[in-house]
Amino acid sequence: MDATTVLAELSGNVATMGYGLAAIGPAIGVGIVVGKTIEGVARQPELAGRLQVLMWIGIAFTEALAFIGIATYFIFTN
- Confidence bin at 38 (pLDDT 50/70/90): very high
Please count the helices (runs of H) and the strands (runs of E) in the chain: 2, 0
Question: For the chain, which domains are there?
Answer: 15-76 (1.20.20.10)
Over residues 16-33, the pLDDT tens digits come to 777 777 778 888 989 999
| Res 35 pLDDT > 60 | yes
| Residue 41 buriedness (CB in 10 A; 0-12 / 13-18 / 19+) | middle
Could you give the percent of the chain with pLDDT greater than 90? 41
